[in-house]
Amino acid sequence: MKTTHSHHQKEMKPINRKALRAMRGKDFLNTTHYSREQLEALHALAFQLKHAHLYGSGTPPLLEGKTLAMVFEKPSTRTRVSFEAGMFGLGGHALYLDAQKTQMSRSEDWQDTARTLSGYTDAIMARVYEQRTLETLAKYSPKPVINGLSNSLHPCQILSDLFTIREHFGKLEGVHVMYSGVVDNVAYSLALGCAQLGVDFTLATPRMFHTNQAIWKQAQTIAKKSGSLMQHFDSMPPAKVLKSVHVAYTDEWESMHMKLDKAKLFPTLSKYQVNEKLLAQCAKGAMAMHCLPAIKGEEVNSSVMYSKHSLVWPQAQNRMYVQQALLVALLGDLDSKSSE
């Protein structure tokens, strides 16, 4: 079978079903709402689902008859398709709702939308501007609500990216991830996720992009328990820090809710670009990551994205398997025969 994946990770430890069972019926608005054991268990299940799909007996129909409503206030390629294909693969169904094509465009509110959608479907995944919109959905929906990105956080992305890092390096502990560029929802979820799972994390972002201190402090507090080293720079870090970086991660300078004068900022921001020159200053075997979409020539260059030092494509593909694991934990029956 043709695959672009690296396979440094050959096997995964057994799935902690007890940890996953405790997630049943809950919302997934932030990785921090779950324990390290639960995030690890999701990775273990995702590993099993990926291998069953690509090399084994196929994806088990763990969500047969289940429907996921997917509401989008913002554009999406990966989140939409990975959730939809992921539900289909598990024997379920997903429906795409452009918020502007629903009655919300005529001022029906999120409360009534949550009450209505949860009457027809088994879960709601939403991509929204405000994190509090997700909290409203969660408050009024008796069914699980999943954060498909807000201005503040992108937890599904990072749960999946940490899986990709584990898959490539064969471990998470001792891995050092650096995010460089404009601090955003992805960077915040990355800081929190790394802190939870014992990954060292460096944030390098120009001072003009104020880092949300509440989230950064939360990440530091979590890191004290896991042992992650958390560092924050308002310039590119010095050579001795770069030398220990295994993953150079970046994201678009301009998030979907932002408007920047990119021409004016280019001289400052281009110093944070993820490219081969940066990887050459990092640890041996360092890899580039980007959640996509990318603006090639800005935060990342084209050649590194398609090089053997890129995890960008397995990173995109793994979204589906990790979200399938999440959906199974929130909606499925882990004790059913087909889950064995």
Cβ of residue 56: shortest distance to ligand CP, in angstroms? 27
Interface with ligand CP (CB under 6 A), residue total 9
Site map (CB under 6 A) of ligand CP, residues 141-170, x = contact: --------x-------x-------------
Element (H, E) at 194: helix 185-197
Separation between Cα atoms, residue 127 and residue 134, nearest integer Å = 9
Separation between Cα atoms, residue 274 and residue 248, nearest integer Å = 7
- CA-based angle 62:66:70, to the nearest 5? 115
Is 291 one of the annotated active-site residues of the chain? Answer: yes
Q: Which of 31, 79, 133, 141 binds ligand CP (CB under 6 A)?
A: 79
**Among the listed residues 18, 49, 143, 123, the one whose alpha carbon sits nearest the alpha carbon of residue 338:** 49
Q: Which of 6, 16, 76, 226 binds ligand CP (CB under 6 A)?
A: 76
Is 319 one of the annotated active-site residues of the chain? Answer: yes
DSSP E strands in 182-274: the ranges are: 200-204, 230-233, 247-250
With binding defined as CB under 6 A, does residue 292 bind ligand CP? yes
Separation between Cα atoms, residue 94 and residue 73, nearest integer Å = 17
Residue (5 or 80) nearer to ligand CP, CB:
80
Residue (79 or 202) nearer to ligand CP, CB:
79
Separation between Cα atoms, residue 191 and residue 185, nearest integer Å = 10
Is 154 one of the annotated active-site residues of the chain? Answer: yes
Q: Which of 43, 66, 78, 166 binds ligand CP (CB under 6 A)?
A: 78
Which one of the listed residues 251, 273, 290, 309 is annotated catalytic? 251
Which one of the listed residues 38, 78, 122, 157 is annotated catalytic? 157
Residues interacting with ligand CP, by CB under 6 A?
76-79, 149, 157, 291-293
